[in-house]
Each structure stands twice: as structure tokens, then as C-alpha cells.
Chain A
Amino acid sequence: MKILLRGVALAVLLAAAPAVAQTPPNVLVVGQIAEPQTLDPQVATAVNDFRIAVNIYDGLVRYADGTLEVEPALATDWEISEDGLTYTFNLREGVTFHDGTPFNAEAVKFNFDRMLDENHPYYDTGPFPLSFNFAAVDSVNVIDEFTVEFVLSEPYAPFLSNLAYPTGLIVSPAAVEQYGEDYGRNPVGTGPYRFIEWQSNTRVVAEANPDYWDGAPNLEAVVFRPITDANTRVAEMLSGGIDVMVEVPPDNVDQFASDAAFEVYEQAGPHVWYVMLNAQHGPFTDKLVRQAANYAVNKEALVEDILQGTATVADSPVAPAFNWAYNEGLEPYPYDPAMAEELLAEAGVENPSVTFYVTEGGSGMLDPITMGTAIQADLEAVGFDVAIETYEWNTFLGIVNPGLGEDADMAEMAWMTNDPDVLPYLTLRTDAWPEAGGFNSSYYSNPEVDELLEAARVETDIVERGNLYKAMQEIVYEDAPWIFVANWKQNAVTSAAVEGFALQPSFLLELADVSKP
């Protein structure tokens, strides 16, 4: 027994003796929130997976640094036909996938046919849950080796943004043919880093692609580590086991900010958190009552106290991150309970009683129960009588998506989108009422808004399109179909040694320009 004990003690000493090495220089270790599901960008749906994918792959276009504007990537330029139906892309020459397969028009066609054509021989490597981003694509035609043409079935201006989204990243056709349904664990792209290995729940390693068309990265390799427990993720960051940590819990942000060994980054994203107000039944059918609700809620307090500064106050169905489409002229409804009471009096409504659907949590919902309770308190302070009903996320979607009907007057909701079209088009048009298959669960309807949104969807000039969205926002602001609450900010912490790091409004994690000497 004693010998055994001594053995154990010795082993512990030996193992613990060398101080834990920091992560090696020129290797960036990223603490992720979960194990990736797949590195096939057309199969992936989670931001967590996209963070890896955008570093292994390129799309035809990409979001320019720091914006949600589209710029050339694997396509050098493109032309859009007068009718907005044909997009012709000239492709970058001399690019090869990490496995040596040449990148050309055939490869582009393969990618989109695989996702969209049920008869494609590799359609069964799906499912492709987000392929609806390209539902408007009628056919993809190879014009010559480096020219490819997309024909749409109807004009659809968000098409370019959707190409910049990870679903539009281009995979190596040869690799798909080789690995079949296991392609998602053997990804091959053209990006700044090439995939090396994926150990389940341990790491995904990608090494620099020295032949990258946009310049070889400074780093030798990037390692993505899934660390699901937030406390452990923080501990790893503090102990030097990771160099970058995304989605820092609000409670820990101050700790990192006040420590010179770390750098905190924040970036508002294409996210809107709002409370929809039932425009068909109950007190909120009156615009004045809806406006009153907007004045009654103290959004600053929600954002600063409950969300601890991890969001900014919203005032529009278009997130400010869409810099070209967001109407800078809008100001959030101020917190003004007196004004709210006045509006209620003007509307002739006394102590309206309303039912408020709240969710326990869900995609992009931040802290929905606490938020819901605070909103309830603010509304009751000006005379509303608010009854909260709380549901688990999937149940919640199951009762909200078919429409609030006569059962509820308000419901929480949040969306994260890659084009300013998506959220208003699916939630504010008359043709997007649930019966018509949309997500306008609170039955807002304004013919002017419908017209502007339809016009924006077919307008291919980005400035003109932006103007249409700005005009739409002014009307929606005045009509107040929602209580506009928050735009979520993404945050990240890096060790001080990390240089050239930036968060993107797309919430993607571009690491091509990062270095860590």
C-alpha cells in the first residue's frame, strides 16, 4: 500500500512539476461555446460552426471588413441584368482548393446544384437546412472556365448578401465525392486556413494556407476548442489555456476589461430583440396604445441593468449593423411614463389588461424571463394590467408562429439575419400573416410598408435599396407594431498578445489577419 501511495504521489509531482505552458506562439487557440456540428458550410446552421467555416472556405463574395456590405472574394466582379434575374460572376483565376482541385465555374455549379437539385448525385450529403437562402435560384450555368451565371426565378436583391453568408461558401467538389456523407468532418475549401484534424469534443485544428490568394496568414495554425461550460471557458482564459474567447458571460466582462493581460472587444450585430403587439385583437389595435407601450418601457435600464451592457437600445426593424440600410435619423422612443399615460388617456383606454407571452430562453433571446418581468413592471406603472405566460422555447414558437389570435396581446421575439430584407419582409408585411406562411404573428398591416418592402426586394442598386428601407423604417417607427427593445452586441476577449483581432457585424470570426508573435 505504501509503495502504491508513493507511486501516486510521485506521479502527481512529476505531472505537475513543469508550469503549464502557455499556448505556443503563432498558434491561436479559440475557446468555442460548443462542439461544432459540421464543417460542411451548406449543412451548418450554427454560428458556432460558421466561426470555423469562414476561416477554411471562401464564398464568391464576402462582407467587407467591419460592415455588412458585400465585396469580391472568389468572384472578382459581377454583372446584374436589367431585370434583376441574371447574375454573371467572373471568377478569380489560379485558385486551388486545399486538396489541389482547381477552383472554377464547374466547382461553383457543383456547390449550388448539390444544395438545390434533388436529383444531384450528392444531394444526399445534406440535409441543407438553410438552402432556402438560395430558393430564388432557378439555374446555375457554366459560361466558360471562369464565368458562371445564376438565373433567378424572380428578382431577389438579398441574393448577394446571402452569397456572402456561410451557406454560400464554396466546398471542393472532389472532396465531397471522396468523403460523401462524411464530408462535414473532412472539409476542404480555398480559405486562409486548411483543415488538419477534428477530434471529437477536443479540438479542430486548421493550419495556415501558404498559397492563400489574399495573402498567407501570419499565424501558423488556429485551434478551435469547444468548452461548453461558461465558467470553465472563463477559467481557461484566465489560466492562459486559450487565446480568444467568444460570448463572454456579462458578469465576467468587467474582470477582463480591468486586467491589462486581456483585451475586450464588442460589436453590435444584425440582431433585433422586440415585443410584438397584437394589431388585430385587444387594446394594441390602437396605434396610440402601441406608442404608449414604447414610451412606457425603460429600454436603457433593460439594456444596461439586465443585459449588463451587452446590447444597445433598438428603434427599428433594421439593425444598425446594416449601415447602408439603417435609418440614422431615428431615435429610440424615450422613456417617458407621463407621455405614455397621456397617450392612453387620448386613446380612451383605461387600465388595459393584456396577456404577454414570454419564453424561457432560445436563439438570440438573451435573458427573456427577466426582460419580460421588467417590461411587465414598466407597463403596469403606467396603468396596463399585464399577465405573463411563460413557455419553453420550442413550445413558445409553436404557439407564437401560428399567430397570437385572441389569446395574447404581446410576445417576445428576436431575430438574427444576414440581410435587412429578411426580418421586416417576414414579420411586417400583410402577405406575411401566419395564414400566408409568414411570421407576422401580430398582424401588422400597412400597404405603404408592403409596397416599400416589395420594391426593395427587387431593387439591385444598393443605395436605392437602402433608401427604400429607410423610408419603411420611418413609417414602422410611427406605427409602432412592436416595442423596439435591443440590438445584441457580440463580445470577445483575447489575451494581450493577440494582434489584428476584430469582431465583425456579421458575427462571423474572421481570423485571416490575426497574429500572435
Chain B
Amino acid sequence: MLAYIAKRLLAAIPVLFGLSIIVFGIMALIPGDTATAILGAYATPENVARVNRELGLDRTLPEQYWVWITNVLQGDFGRSYNLNRPVLDEILERYSATLVLAGVSLVLCSIFGLLAGIVSAVRQFGWADRIITFFVLIGISMPAFWLGLLLILLFAVQWRILPASGMFAVYGGGDFMDLLRHLILPAVTLAVVATGVIARLTRASMLEVLRQDFVRTARAKGLSERKVIYAHAFKAAFVNVIPVIGIQAGFVLGGAVYVETVFQWPGIGAMLVNAISTRDILLVQGGVLLVAASYVLFNLVADVCQALLDPRLKT
């Protein structure tokens, strides 16, 4: 197992390396440059040249990339032009906010997705199944940013029972309850789509398992229906759902981009949007690298969990 994990981690290195080149290339290709973004209305050719020189952007692309990658390998991610602070400080701070949001969302969508899927499968074609399938379809189809705005209008503007945006109260606050109150709307928004996906897959997987011999055997042994479903069938079906939860973890991280923007959550998604629009290459590079690394890691964790739970997948 350890050898497997090590192999997977090694395989991630070229992925991250290639990704950094692609992102660097894309940032160089999209129109607009950093100096113009910084200078705005004052972007005279002379000023642009001066700022570029000060930022080291007058060098060739391969040169810039080389400087960046050698620094990164030594743990130096550079300074953000735009935020005037080290990239690493910024991405770690923002990443922790995203992890809180994405983590809670993942827990929510796993619990509700699995439950909905099980109920749906057990009551196949029953009214519960129909209702769940209906809502799952709506959840999957609804754009997250739109749902987020609706929730804000309802809970913050209309009823005034939850804050509209942010992570903590702006003055004072900062305790756990404060965080929780700010977390509910964005976490639910972010969880909705993933819940739908997990519910669908759980349903399909459960339906398949419920038809298998060992379930019939369990029932024949006289086990209670609850025990048959949760202790036997679900355990088998769950193995198939784990990798999807792993993928959803990555999806939730990616989806955080919209949700963080709508809810002004100080996470890495909102940071990336801003960094791209201001051509803050170093910040984009650092942020994308971190998100990609987490994505690889989540999938690895999911695969390892699956292997541990399913004896047939032992490597």
C-alpha cells in the first residue's frame, strides 16, 4: 500500500509541473499585461516599460518561468504585484478559508447525497424516490451563483436571520458561532450540486447491490431490513461511491470560485478570479498549483480509502 501511495505521489509531480507550464503559457497568451493592469488610466508606454522593468517582466517568457520555478523549488513563491505581499502568505491564508467552506460542503453533500441515494434506491419508483429524483435534478441543473443570490435575498434581506456575505462579523465577532452563521448559506449553496451527483450515483450503486445474492442471503437469514440495507448493501455500494466523493471534493473546490465570489468568502477561488483579471501571474501560478495539488491528493485519498474498504482492489 505504501509503495502504491508513493508511486501515485511521484506521478503527481509531472502533472503539477506540466500544469504550471500550461498556466504560465495561458497567462502570457491572454490579452493585457500586468503593468497596464496596475497603471490603469496611467498606462503610458513609458510608464508601462518602467513598471515592467521594475517587476522583471521585460525578460523573455522562458527566463521568467525559469526564475519562478527555481524559486518555487526553494519554497519561494514570489510576491504578488497586486497585493504587495508574499504569494505563499496569501494563498495559505485564503486556502484555509476555502478548506473550511469546501470541507463543510463536502460533509453536507456526502451525508445528504448518500441518504437521499439510499432512500431513493430502497423505495425505487415509490413517492420518496420520485420526490428525491425531482429535487436532485433541480439541484444539478441550478447554477450555484443564482441559487446563492436567491438564498441571500431570502435569508439575509427578507428575513434577516443570516448574514449576506463574508466569513466573520466585520467588527468584533470571530468566534465559532459567528463563523457558523456565515457558513450556512455558502456551504449549502456549494453542496447542492454535489449532493445531487452523489445521490444519483448512490442510488444506482445501491440498486445494483440490492439485486445481488448476498443481500438475498442476508434477508433469508432473517436480518432486519434496516440491517440488510445499512450493514450489508450500503457497505458494498459505498465502495463505488467513494471515488465520486473524491471527485466531488475537487469539484467543490472548483465550484468555490463562484460561491466565494457571490458570498464574498475570503477563499482561494475568489482570489484566483481577481488575480487573473489583474494579470497577477505569480499569484495565479501559486494558487493553481495548490488547488491542483489538493485535487490530486483528494483523489489519492479516495482511492486509498476504496482500496482499504474493498478487499478486491488490494494492490
Interface residues of B in 144-174 (CB under 8 A from A): 149, 152-153, 155-157, 160-172
Does A228 lie within 8 Å of B152, measured CB to CB? no
Assess whether A304 is interfacial by the CB under 8 Å rule. Answer: no
Does B40 lie within 8 Å of A363, measured CB to CB? yes
Assess whether B141 is interfacial by the CB under 8 Å rule. Answer: no
* Contact of A226 (CB < 8 Å), options: B50, B152, B184, B264: B264
Q: Which stretch from A7-15, A95-103, A452-460 is at the chain B interface? A: A7-15
Of all chain A residues, the one with the shortest Cβ separation from B267 is: A201
Assess whether A436 is interfacial by the CB under 8 Å rule. Answer: no
Report chain B residues within 8 Å CB of A364: 41
Interface string of A126-164 (1 = CB under 8 A from B): 110110100000000000000000000000000000000
Assuming A232-B264, A415-B41, is B31 touching A200 (CB within 8 A)? no
Assuming A11-B180, A202-B168, is B263 touching A232 (CB within 8 A)? yes
A182 to B162, CA, bound (A): 36
Assess whether B143 is interfacial by the CB under 8 Å rule. Answer: no
Q: Which stretch from A29-37, A83-91, A379-387, A481-489 is at the chain B interface? A: A29-37
| Nearest CB on B from A27, distance (A) | 5
A388 to B203, CA, bound (A): 55
Does B40 lie within 8 Å of A225, measured CB to CB? no
Assess whether A406 is interfacial by the CB under 8 Å rule. Answer: no
Assess whether A347 is interfacial by the CB under 8 Å rule. Answer: no
| Nearest CB on B from A38, distance (A) | 4
Report chain B residues within 8 Å CB of A292: none
| Nearest CB on B from A36, distance (A) | 9
Does A227 lie within 8 Å of B264, measured CB to CB? yes
* Contact of B162 (CB < 8 Å), options: A8, A20, A127, A401: A20
Assess whether A331 is interfacial by the CB under 8 Å rule. Answer: no
| Nearest CB on B from A395, distance (A) | 5
Report chain B residues within 8 Å CB of A1: 111, 115
A160 to B87, CA, bound (A): 37
Does B164 lie within 8 Å of A395, measured CB to CB? no
Assuming A40-B84, A45-B38, A239-B157, is B165 touching A227 (CB within 8 A)? yes
Interface string of B27-47 (1 = CB under 8 A from A): 000011100111111111111
Assuming A15-B180, A225-B166, A241-B163, is B271 touching A201 (CB within 8 A)? yes
Assess whether B137 is interfacial by the CB under 8 Å rule. Answer: no
Does B161 lie within 8 Å of A19, measured CB to CB? yes
Assess whether A181 is interfacial by the CB under 8 Å rule. Answer: yes
A16 to B163, CA, bound (A): 9
Does A239 lie within 8 Å of B46, measured CB to CB? no
Does B84 lie within 8 Å of A181, measured CB to CB? yes
Report chain A residues within 8 Å CB of B84: 37-38, 40, 43, 181-182, 184-185
Assess whether B296 is interfacial by the CB under 8 Å rule. Answer: no
Assess whether B82 is interfacial by the CB under 8 Å rule. Answer: yes
Of all chain A residues, the one with the shortest Cβ separation from B94 is: A200
Does A401 lie within 8 Å of B177, measured CB to CB? no
A37 to B262, CA, bound (A): 20
Report chain B residues within 8 Å CB of A21: 169
Report chain A residues within 8 Å CB of B171: 23-24, 27, 29, 205, 221, 223
| Nearest CB on A from B176, distance (A) | 10
Report chain B residues within 8 Å CB of A19: 160-161
Does B165 lie within 8 Å of A199, measured CB to CB? no
Assess whether A236 is interfacial by the CB under 8 Å rule. Answer: yes
Does A129 lie within 8 Å of B51, measured CB to CB? yes
A225 to B180, CA, bound (A): 19
Interface centre among A14, A201, A241 (most CB of B within 10 A): A201
Interface string of A40-55 (1 = CB under 8 A from B): 1001011000000000
Report chain B residues within 8 Å CB of A11: 180
Assess whether B274 is interfacial by the CB under 8 Å rule. Answer: yes
* Contact of B111 (CB < 8 Å), options: A4, A46, A226, A238: A4
* Contact of A229 (CB < 8 Å), options: B33, B83, B180, B262: B262
Assess whether B255 is interfacial by the CB under 8 Å rule. Answer: no
Does B45 lie within 8 Å of A392, measured CB to CB? no
Does A202 lie within 8 Å of B266, measured CB to CB? yes
Assess whether A428 is interfacial by the CB under 8 Å rule. Answer: no
| Nearest CB on A from B122, distance (A) | 13
A297 to B51, CA, bound (A): 39
Assess whether A64 is interfacial by the CB under 8 Å rule. Answer: no
A130 to B180, CA, bound (A): 43
Does B39 lie within 8 Å of A45, measured CB to CB? yes
Assess whether B235 is interfacial by the CB under 8 Å rule. Answer: no
Assuming A232-B164, A241-B156, A397-B43, is B266 touching A199 (CB within 8 A)? yes
| Nearest CB on A from B123, distance (A) | 16
Of all chain A residues, the one with the shortest Cβ separation from B43 is: A397
* Contact of B170 (CB < 8 Å), options: A23, A182, A401: A23
Does A130 lie within 8 Å of B264, measured CB to CB? no
Interface residues of B in 66-112 (CB under 8 A from A): 79, 82-85, 90, 93-94, 108, 111
| Nearest CB on B from A88, distance (A) | 29
Assess whether A203 is interfacial by the CB under 8 Å rule. Answer: yes
Does A35 lie within 8 Å of B83, measured CB to CB? yes
Assess whether B54 is interfacial by the CB under 8 Å rule. Answer: yes
Assess whether B270 is interfacial by the CB under 8 Å rule. Answer: yes
Does A46 lie within 8 Å of B40, measured CB to CB? yes
Report chain A residues within 8 Å CB of B38: 45, 127, 129
Report chain B residues within 8 Å CB of A496: none
Does B261 lie within 8 Å of A229, measured CB to CB? yes
Assess whether B13 is interfacial by the CB under 8 Å rule. Answer: no
Assess whether B232 is interfacial by the CB under 8 Å rule. Answer: no
Interface residues of A in 391-409 (CB under 8 A from B): 392-395, 397, 401
Assess whether B305 is interfacial by the CB under 8 Å rule. Answer: no
Report chain B residues within 8 Å CB of A202: 166-168, 170, 266
| Nearest CB on A from B3, distance (A) | 36
Assess whether A210 is interfacial by the CB under 8 Å rule. Answer: no
Does A241 lie within 8 Å of B270, measured CB to CB? no
Assess whether A235 is interfacial by the CB under 8 Å rule. Answer: yes
Does B165 lie within 8 Å of A392, measured CB to CB? no
A58 to B99, CA, bound (A): 40
Task: Give me 8 other A-B pairs in contact (C-beta within 8 A), A19-B160, A241-B166, A363-B41 excluded.
Answer: A16-B181, A20-B156, A24-B172, A35-B274, A184-B85, A200-B271, A239-B163, A394-B36
In the complex, the 6 A-B pairs of residues with the closest C-beta atoms, listed nearest first: A201-B266, A394-B32, A184-B84, A239-B156, A127-B54, A38-B84
List the interface of chain B (C-beta within 8 A of A): 31-33, 36-47, 50-51, 54-55, 79, 82-85, 90, 93-94, 108, 111, 115, 149, 152-153, 155-157, 160-172, 177, 180-181, 184, 261-264, 266-267, 270-271, 274
A–B complex contacts, Cβ < 8 Å, 22 sampled: A14-B180, A15-B184, A16-B155, A20-B161, A29-B171, A45-B42, A127-B38, A129-B39, A129-B47, A132-B47, A199-B266, A202-B167, A203-B170, A229-B262, A231-B262, A232-B264, A235-B149, A235-B157, A235-B164, A392-B32, A394-B33, A394-B37
